[in-house]
């Protein structure tokens, strides 16, 4: 006969602590054991449970464990044979999203997205079924108590005659999607151990962002990334949005360096086997727009990103050249690219009066304004939006529905001490709050050294940075 959870001794006192900074420890009778790290927080949780199973095997009996996690806290029973039972679980208090002031129907309040998206209402956990690895296991968090039915009165109610319905009004098909079990956090760990857990609010929010960026839209979409100040993170923003949209949607995506002369997008991305640029594509536009031209011919002019699955159309990098792209040439290049690609993400120069800059705006479906946590970058972003708003029509509509992406990174030449990072975070929050009333959405991105120098790769980013950029891409895609 097995041991019930109430019969398991609370000695020794065991705690499993997983922190959101990527560290974890198991404390047994006051003695701390550092949990070996992994590639993710999920591996930390699994490694912590492995240490506890080892303690149960040493004692040759089940042990009680208090778990502490950013998602909440609770109690588990861990057996020597790897069986895990959930005794209790209490979610952490929900972090509320900053609310924008109420607006009239003519002015839509923007969405302010923090590094970790605000949680949605917590779904009720499905009861865990007994398996070979989990006997008498209780759901975690515990299922709500069943309400006591109200006693029936003695009154007699006359039953209405049944109404016969048409077969056209019903269906036996299940329309509601099936909620997949948790894959992250302690819930994901318990799911893999046989206790099927519903996902947390954070995981549900991430799934919704993935669904948003995975959509396909009728007709091509063009994103313009603009800020009149250099060093505002325009090129990293172009690379990240292109990588995420290409990875999740599978849509043919191209990042186009629409600088007046020489831009930096080619320096921060992978180079192909040729040196062609937008000028070469314009010269070959007649052939590329011919109905008889094979779609693969575009590869002669773009540089494929083998890991991040998008292409790059570079600006002219000829040091001796002085050609500036004209408005008509922007029209030609855009016509070519929208024949071969569903998504066009355009980098830009720093002159809002330039002909190619203004024509780029004419082709834009969604405006993105990146800014770093520095005052002059933020002011340049404000002036960029103000310029577009003053022009009215399509330009003003783009400004009102823009997505502002505020990066916590600082000058690459300065060392990022703890105090400097805190100042950058506080300044990013202040700048984000300042833009929020005037645009559709504001997203904050944490500092990440992988974005500072050299080629930019999505996989090189820290998990928190990847999650923040996913939220940014979802905010952009929501405007298509």
CATH number of 442's domain: 3.40.50.300
Distance from C-alpha of 405 to C-alpha of 270, rounded to nearest angstrom:
24
Same domain? 375 vs 348 = yes
User: Which residues form the domain of 252?
Assistant: 214-477
Is 134 found in the same domain as 226? Answer: no
pLDDT band at 157 (very low <50, low <70, confident <90, very high): low
**8 in Cβ contact with 14 (< 8 Å):** no
Is the Cβ–Cβ distance between 257 and 347 less than 8 Å?
yes
Residue 371 lies in a domain: yes
Contact by Cβ (8 Å): 292, 383: no
Residue 2 included in any domain: no
Domain presence at residue 207: no
Q: Which of 81-90, 148-157, 319-328, 375-384 has the lowest mean pLDDT?
A: 148-157
Question: Is 137's pLDDT higher than 50?
Answer: no
- Give the residue, 349 or 45, on which the prediction is more confident: 349
pLDDT at 158: 57
From the list 433, 441, 427, 439, the residue with the least C-alpha distance to 386 is: 439
253-258 and 311-313 beta bridge pairing: parallel
Position 342 in a domain? yes
Where are the extended beta strands (E) located within 19-109? 24-28, 31-34, 63-69, 72-78, 84-91
> Do 192 and 284 reside in the same domain of the chain?
no
Q: Looking at the structure, do residues 134 and 240 belong to the same domain, yes or no?
A: no
Q: Are 216 and 251 in contact (CB under 8 A)?
A: yes
CA distance 62 to 55: 9
What percent of the chain lies above the pLDDT cut of 70? 81
Reply yes or no on whether the pLDDT at 411 is more than 90: no
Ranges of H-type helices in 139-200: 185-192
Q: What is the pLDDT of residue 40?
A: 72
Quick one: three-class SS letters along 201-218?
Answer: HHHHHHHHHHHHHCCCCC
Q: Per the domain annotation, does 250 fall within a domain?
A: yes
Last residue within a domain, chosen from 134, 168, 200: 200
β-pairing, 221-225 vs 111-113, is unpaired
Where would I find the H helices in 323-436? 327-340, 355-363, 375-391, 393-400, 418-435
* Nearest C-alpha neighbor of 478 from the set 113, 176, 114, 227: 113
Three-class SS state of 137 = coil
Average pLDDT over the chain reads 83
Kindly state whether residues 383 and 241 are assigned to the same domain: yes
Round the CA-based radius of gyration of the chain to a whole number and report it: 28
| Token pair in block for residue 204 | 């549900």
Beta bridge partners, 91, equal 72
What are the φ and ψ backbone dihedral angles of 165, each rounded to 5 degrees? Answer: -100, 160
More confident residue, 452 or 363: 363
The DSSP call for residue 129 is: P
Q: Are strands 343-348 and 253-258 parallel, antiparallel or unpaired?
A: parallel
Residue 229 and residue 188 share a domain: no
Same domain, 307 and 416: yes
Whether residue 292 is found in the same domain as residue 192: no
Asked if 223 and 130 sit in the same domain, the reply is: no
Indicate whether 124 pLDDT > 80. Answer: no
pLDDT in tens, 30-80: 888 888 876 677 788 888 888 899 888 988 899 999 998 888 888 999 999
Domain match, 284 and 355 both: yes
Calpha distance 168→172 (Å, rounded): 11
Please give the pLDDT value at position 129: 35
Q: What is the DSSP string of 191-258?
A: HHTT---PPPHHHHHHHHHHHHHT---SS-EEEEE--SSTTSSHHHHHHHHHHHHHHHH---EEEEEE
As a whole number, mean pLDDT of residues 360-378 equals 95
- Burial call 49-86: b when 16+ CB within 10 Å, e when fewer: bebbbebbeeeeebbbbbbbbbbbbbbbbbbbeebbbb
Is pLDDT of 146 > 50?
no
Q: Which residues of 183-217 are buried (b: 16+ CB within 10 A; e: fewer)?
A: bbbbbbbbbebbbbbbbbbbbbbbeebbebbeeee
pLDDT of residue 140 exceeding 70: no
**pTM of structure:** 0.70
Residues in the chain: 480
Same domain, 341 and 468: yes
In a domain, 255, yes or no: yes
Question: Do 258 and 356 have their domain in common?
Answer: yes
Q: Characterise 73 by phi-psi region: left (phi > 0), alpha (psi -120 to 50), beta (else).
A: beta
Q: What is the pLDDT of residue 164?
A: 72
Tens of pLDDT, residues 427-443? 999 999 999 999 999 99
Q: What percent of the chain is modeled with pLDDT above 90?
A: 51
pLDDT band at residue 412 using 50, 70 and 90 as cut-offs: very low
Q: Is residue 116 part of a domain?
A: no
Say if residue 107's pLDDT is above 70: no
- pLDDT value for 113: 66
pLDDT at 116: 42
- Residue 374 placed within a domain: yes
pLDDT surpassing 80 at residue 261: no
Residue among 26, 129, 36 nearest 86 (CA): 129
Q: Would you say residue 191 has pLDDT above 90?
A: no
Element holding 18 (H helix, E strand) = strand 14-18
Contacts of 460-465 with C-beta under 8 Å, sequence gap 24+, read: 463/40, 463/41, 464/115, 464/116
Q: Which residue has the higher pLDDT, 37 or 229?
A: 229
Give the chain's domain count: 2
Residue 253 near residue 311 (C-beta atoms within 8 A)? yes
């Amino acid at each position: 006969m097995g041991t019930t959870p109430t019969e398991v001794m609370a000695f020794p006192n065991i705690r499993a602590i997983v922190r959101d900074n990527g560290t974890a420890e198991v404390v047994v009778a006051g003695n701390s054991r550092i949990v070996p790290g992994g590639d993710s927080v999920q591996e930390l949780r699994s490694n912590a449970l492995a240490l506890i199973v080892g303690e149960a095997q040493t004692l040759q009996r089940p042990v009680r464990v208090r778990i502490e996690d950013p998602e909440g806290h609770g109690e588990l029973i861990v057996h020597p044979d790897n069986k895990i039972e959930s005794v209790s679980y209490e979610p952490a208090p929900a972090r509320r999203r900053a609310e924008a002031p109420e607006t009239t129907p003519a002015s839509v309040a923007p969405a302010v997205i923090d590094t970790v998206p605000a949680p949605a209402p917590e779904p009720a956990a499905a009861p865990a079924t007994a398996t070979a690895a989990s006997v008498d296991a209780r759901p975690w968090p515990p299922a709500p108590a069943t309400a006591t039915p109200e006693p029936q009165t003695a009154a007699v109610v006359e039953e209405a005659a049944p109404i016969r319905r048409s077969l056209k009004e019903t269906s036996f098909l299940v329309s509601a999607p099936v909620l997949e079990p948790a894959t992250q956090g302690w819930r994901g760990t318990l799911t893999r151990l046989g206790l099927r857990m519903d996902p947390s609010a954070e995981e549900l929010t991430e799934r919704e962002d993935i669904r948003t960026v995975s959509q396909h839209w009728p007709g091509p979409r063009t994103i313009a990334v603009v800020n009149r100040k250099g060093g505002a993170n325009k090129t990293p923003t172009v690379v990240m949005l292109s990588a995420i949209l290409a990875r999740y949607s599978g849509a043919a995506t191209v990042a186009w360096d629409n600088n007046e002369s020489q831009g930096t997008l080619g320096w921060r991305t992978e180079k192909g086997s040729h040196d062609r640029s937008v000028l070469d594509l314009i010269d070959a536009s007649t052939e590329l727009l011919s109905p008889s031209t094979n779609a693969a011919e575009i590869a002669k002019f773009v540089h494929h990103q083998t890991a991040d699955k998008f292409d790059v159309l570079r600006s002219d990098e000829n040091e001796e050249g002085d050609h500036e792209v004209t408005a008509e040439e922007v029209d030609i290049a855009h016509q070519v690219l929208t024949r071969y690609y569903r998504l066009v993400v355009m980098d830009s120069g720093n002159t809002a009066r330039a002909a190619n800059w203004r024509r780029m705006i004419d082709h834009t479906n969604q405006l993105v304004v990146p800014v770093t946590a520095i005052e002059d970058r933020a002011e340049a972003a404000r002036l960029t939006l103000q310029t577009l708003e003053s022009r009215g029509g399509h330009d003003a509509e783009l400004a009102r529905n823009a997505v502002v992406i505020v990066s916590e990174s600082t000058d690459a030449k300065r060392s990022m001490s703890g105090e400097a990072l805190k100042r950058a975070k506080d300044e990013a929050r202040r700048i984000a709050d300042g833009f929020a009333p005037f645009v559709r959405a504001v997203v904050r991105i944490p500092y990440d050294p992988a974005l500072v120098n050299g080629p930019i790769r999505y996989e090189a980013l820290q998990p928190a940075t990847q999650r923040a950029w996913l939220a940014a891409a979802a905010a952009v895609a929501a405007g298509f």
